[in-house]
């Protein structure tokens, strides 16, 4: 291995580790060439909500910036970089334009003195930014910039290719959903809401369970797949108005195994076994009806046998089921649903920290509930969820 900044990139494309891990390895290998490089971070841009969110980082000293989102439109200088595709070099961070911005404040608190910022693009436009920071002033001279720009294009390719894999996977499940009328059954709004509740919970328990932003982003993307197996359930059960009898319940419960088989098949078809966090996708589908006291299905797992991603999705999914109206019941008020989750946590069924995280985020929960409302179907409210 030479000291060239591009040679370590070979490792970047070996998808055996998470992107965060690969970025850290790469950072280590860039140090002989750029010794004063103290931090590399990539923030992703969500165009539908105009938000930049922290994603992966490699931070040598101090507290990393994690779990942070902010509107791109509030950052004029980044907005300009996004539009022009230019890089930004700041030789002293006191010259940072949004000097009161929490992000800028954090950079100064950590003792960073200079920075280099590069926008990243994918086929559909801006996908995010790469930030390089140093505790030395003027660390990013023309030679360093040239080395880092080469590095940036490789990281951009990598992030793009991983996102393309995830999107291909999600798109293929969407086709399957459309094909199977699942769209009529499970409104898009339910999936939008529960994915966002899951993200809120994950943020709330991130410190305790050591979940990084990459994990949380994948959880957010994969949470809506939890019930994908319902595309294999006959319409007479799936679309039945009113409660299911016991036999129908048994059949409905097979959606978990059907979902696991479907995810495995799609992963095989797309050759996605190496996708980081593909285990997370499987766990969400396989374990979202398991309960901590062993009373869930299909396997009756208990305690630590149930992975954190599934615990989070379970709480988010139950909360949305309780607060959504069904043909046989009205939607519960958020506070009543949160109280019921608390009761289930105290009974040992749900992860108490996940429930607490949702309760602590009451106001954000309410915003999500209000923003992503079910469209009334022509012939009444959404069908039953079982």
Q: How far apart are CA 225 and CA 187, in angstroms?
A: 13
| Minimal distance, residue 328 CB to Fe ion, in Å | 17
| Minimal distance, residue 348 CB to Fe ion, in Å | 21
Nearest to 154 by CA among 12, 3, 2, 1: 12
| Minimal distance, residue 185 CB to Fe ion, in Å | 10
Report the residue number, 9 or 231, with the smaller CB distance to Fe ion.
231
| Minimal distance, residue 236 CB to Fe ion, in Å | 18
Report the residue number, 208 or 243, with the smaller CB distance to Fe ion.
243
Report the residue number, 163 or 322, with the smaller CB distance to Fe ion.
322
Which residue in the shown chain puts its C-beta closest to Fe ion?
227
Report the residue number, 55 or 319, with the smaller CB distance to Fe ion.
319
Report the residue number, 276 or 296, with the smaller CB distance to Fe ion.
296
| Minimal distance, residue 253 CB to Fe ion, in Å | 9
| Minimal distance, residue 196 CB to Fe ion, in Å | 13
DSSP secondary structure letters along 113-145:
-EEEEEEEEETTEEEEEEEEEESSTT---HHHH
Cβ atoms 283, 223 nearer than 8 A: no
| Minimal distance, residue 279 CB to Fe ion, in Å | 19
| Minimal distance, residue 324 CB to Fe ion, in Å | 9
Report the residue number, 39 or 289, with the smaller CB distance to Fe ion.
289
| Structure token pair of residue 87 | 């890089």
Nearest to 298 by CA among 331, 337, 252, 344: 252
Half-sphere exposure of 265 (CA within 13 A, CB side): 11
Q: How far apart are CA 184 and CA 367, in angstroms?
A: 24
Helix axis angle for 352-360 and 308-323, nearest 10°, is 50
Contacting residues toward Fe ion, per CB under 5 A:
227, 317
Asked if the bond preceding 22 is cis, omega within 30° of 0, the reply is no
Measured in whole angstroms, the distance separating CA 81 from the mean position of its chain's CA atoms is 25
Report the residue number, 133 or 317, with the smaller CB distance to Fe ion.
317
Q: How far apart are CA 86 and CA 78, in angstroms?
A: 10
Q: Is the dihedral angle over the CA atoms 236, 240, 244, 250 positive or is it negative?
A: positive
| Minimal distance, residue 67 CB to Fe ion, in Å | 25
Nearest to 256 by CA among 226, 222, 224, 301: 226
- Count of C-beta atoms within a 10 Å radius of residue 235: 11
Give the three-state DSSP class for 266: helix
Report the residue number, 126 or 316, with the smaller CB distance to Fe ion.
316
Q: How far apart are the first and last CA of the chain?
A: 56
Report the residue number, 309 or 317, with the smaller CB distance to Fe ion.
317
């Amino acid at each position: 291995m030479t000291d060239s900044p591009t040679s370590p990139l070979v490792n970047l494309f070996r998808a055996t580790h998470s992107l965060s891990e690969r970025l850290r390895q790469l950072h280590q290998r860039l140090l002989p060439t750029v010794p004063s490089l103290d931090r590399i971070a990539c923030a992703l841009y969500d165009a539908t909500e105009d938000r930049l969110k922290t994603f992966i980082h490699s931070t040598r000293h101090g507290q990393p910036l994690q779990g942070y989102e902010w509107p791109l439109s509030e950052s004029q200088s980044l907005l300009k970089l996004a539009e022009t595709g230019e890089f930004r070099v700041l030789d002293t961070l006191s010259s940072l334009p949004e000097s009161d911005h929490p992000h800028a404040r954090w950079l100064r608190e950590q003792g960073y003195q200079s920075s280099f910022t590069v926008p990243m693009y994918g086929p559909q436009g801006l996908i995010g930014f790469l930030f390089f920071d140093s505790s030395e002033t003027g660390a990013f001279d023309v030679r360093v910039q040239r080395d880092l720009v080469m590095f940036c294009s490789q990281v951009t390719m990598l992030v793009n290719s991983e996102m393309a894999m995830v999107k291909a996977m999600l798109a293929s499940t969407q086709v399957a959903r459309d094909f199977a009328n699942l769209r009529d059954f499970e409104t898009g709004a339910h999936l939008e809401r529960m994915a966002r509740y899951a993200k809120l919970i994950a943020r709330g328990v991130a410190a305790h369970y050591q979940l990084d932003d990459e994990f949380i982003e994948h959880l957010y993307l994969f949470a809506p797949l939890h019930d994908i197996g319902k595309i294999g359930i006959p319409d007479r059960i799936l679309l039945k108005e009113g409660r299911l009898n016991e036999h129908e319940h048994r059949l409905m419960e097979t959606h978990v195994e059907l979902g696991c088989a479907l995810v495995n098949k799609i992963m095989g078809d797309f050759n996605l076994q190496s996708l980081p966090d593909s285990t997370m996708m499987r766990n969400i589908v396989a374990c979202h009806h398991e309960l901590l006291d062993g009373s869930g299905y299909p396997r009756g797992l208990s305690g630590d046998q149930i992975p954190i991603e599934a615990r989070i999705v379970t709480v988010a999914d139950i909360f949305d089921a309780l607060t959504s109206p069904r043909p046989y019941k009205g939607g519960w008020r958020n506070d009543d649903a949160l109280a019921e989750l608390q009761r289930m946590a105290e009974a040992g069924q749900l992860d108490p920290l996940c429930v607490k995280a949702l309760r602590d985020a009451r106001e954000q929960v309410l915003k999500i509930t209000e923003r992503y409302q079910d469209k009334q179907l022509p012939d009444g409210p959404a069908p039953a969820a079982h």
